[in-house]
A and B are shown apart, each in its own frame.
Chain A
């Protein structure tokens, strides 16, 4: 339900505010702390196999995305598409969470010796890249905001998230959970912290015209 609400919100292009963006904005920064251990079993019981599964990297479920649920209206008129990479390495998507703007293109290189078959059935963007070997890559352009769940058809334990935003005010956390959203115009906003498929927390923030950075910490259950 939370995920659906998030997806809907994103798909609607978020809630625009009429204020014009200043030339320079402030920074919202902070840290997202997870109070639970997001690691868990990844592999399904391999009863039909003749032995144990080979080594693989578990997904980094600690990565979160922090974003503004509402943004100044001009931010939607100036999308900043970029090119991003979602690697397939040691039977894991790296990174586990990717946040991009509308119009961005994501490359899906295969860095493993085995085949992978990246696909998504998400409404925001469905695709199937077929099977391709190590050293090859396929690309997908994301023209619609929303949440895109990515899987490998061959390895059911592989999954990743791509969050497609209609504005530039978002950031993925680093390994320590830190984030930084730059250039935020003055105003009052709802800041959302998303982790592993759902918005886990929200908080109100006010960005002043003085350019002072705003600290916003999250602690997620």
Chain B
């Protein structure tokens, strides 16, 4: 499987015009409708989002995803469908196109609900993640701000197909996750991996048990949190789980864990003989997510701890897994009907390692504060505007103040 392409695309004016026409037509067709588009007597239901985000230039690549597009300069059409084959069997899919590129299948899975009265579901295919809470939100509508949280989007200097030979290789690339390569493995510079890929689903099976006050989900999938996969690249499997506790309607607390092999077999094959794997080849992660809401307030927060195993190839050896801790807190307050204010405060920090350059974090820590407004002039139209400040203790660009506006239509 090839890595995502580099972030060098520009939008053609024709595509932009086509996109605008598409959005206007779509909105005209859907703003008056309330139920989803339904065909074949309700067996097939369609829904979607069309969004356009226009923001400041982001020379520090703070908002680039592993699909090599900036979240602040993105036109997205997202269509989802559910085909009910029988009362207990349904097929669900989600197809997206970013900046009118070739559409890609984001989700495609079979959902089995064997008992009507029991909250037990089995899903198989390209399935939504069970880890954490944010990645299962609808792309634009549930996110009060145009950006994604750092822990779900920010590109670290890790790659699944290329690794540093020594600790110095790693720390010299701190803060350059948008384009990184190492001496061992694939040599072409590519985007690094986020802690959790919020823009990809993984392939496998998952089981959901129970509803409030206690529910659980368990998944066995091909990839890892950082690099969910359609095709296997290493023969390993990821096990992930989340238990959610909902003592009342105001509060939801979730605890998540995941462990999966994340390095490709092609890479492992080219690791020099004599190297060792003292920290293994897995990505392990633990997470806590909390949501509290009442009246006009919604507060959300997540904390994710993750570590990645690495080969120890040459001095200075990397002998410990590389750890990271990301957290964000988000608040939304409704000022008046259709108008809200929101803010998100986040930090993504990395553990320290020893190298000939001294002891320092293996990747540059990054922090972000973002605040904005959301306005719903029509029920199916959401407009957002935000200011974002990013700060990083490494890389060429260490600070950025970015502005963004987003228009989102959903149906």
Tell me the A residues contacting B by CB distance below 8 Å: 3, 40-52, 54, 113-115, 119-121, 126-128, 130-134, 149, 151, 157, 159, 197
Contact = CB atoms under 8 A, between A and B. Distances in A.
A41 B336 contact: no
Contacts of B296: 128, 130-131
Given A52-B113, A133-B250, A47 B378 contact: no
Contacts of B113: 51-52
Interface of B: 32, 34-36, 38, 42, 45-47, 80-82, 90, 92-94, 107, 111, 113, 119-121, 123, 128, 130, 136-138, 206, 208, 211-212, 217, 248-250, 293-296, 298, 334, 336-338, 376-379
B111 to A, nearest CB: 7
B212 A52 contact: no
Contacts of A51: 111, 113, 119-121, 123, 208
Contact of A121 (B34, B42, B248, B338): B338
Contacts, number: 109
Contact of B136 (A49, A149, A197): A49
A46 B217 CA distance: 16
A131 B295 contact: yes
Contacts of A47: 80, 82, 92-94, 107, 128
8 contacts: A41-B36, A44-B47, A45-B47, A45-B82, A47-B80, A50-B217, A51-B123, A114-B249
Contacts of B136: 48-50
Contacts of B107: 47-48
Contacts of B293: 115, 131
Nearest to B36: A44
A54 B295 contact: no
Contacts of A49: 128, 136
B295 A48 contact: no
A121 B136 CA distance: 27
Q: Which of A47, A52, A114, A126 has most chain B Cβ within 10 Å?
A: A47
A134 to B, nearest CB: 7
Contacts of A45: 36, 45-47, 80-82, 92, 94
Nearest to B93: A47
B42 A113 contact: no
Contacts of A134: 249
Contacts of B32: 3, 197
Contacts of B294: 130-132
A157 B33 CA distance: 11
A138 to B, nearest CB: 10
A133 B138 CA distance: 24
B82 A121 contact: no
Given A40-B38, A119-B337, A159-B34, A132 B295 contact: yes
A44 B128 contact: no
B42 A40 contact: yes
A215 to B, nearest CB: 33
Nearest to A127: B337
A127 B296 CA distance: 12
B116 to A, nearest CB: 9
Nearest to B44: A41
A149 B212 CA distance: 30
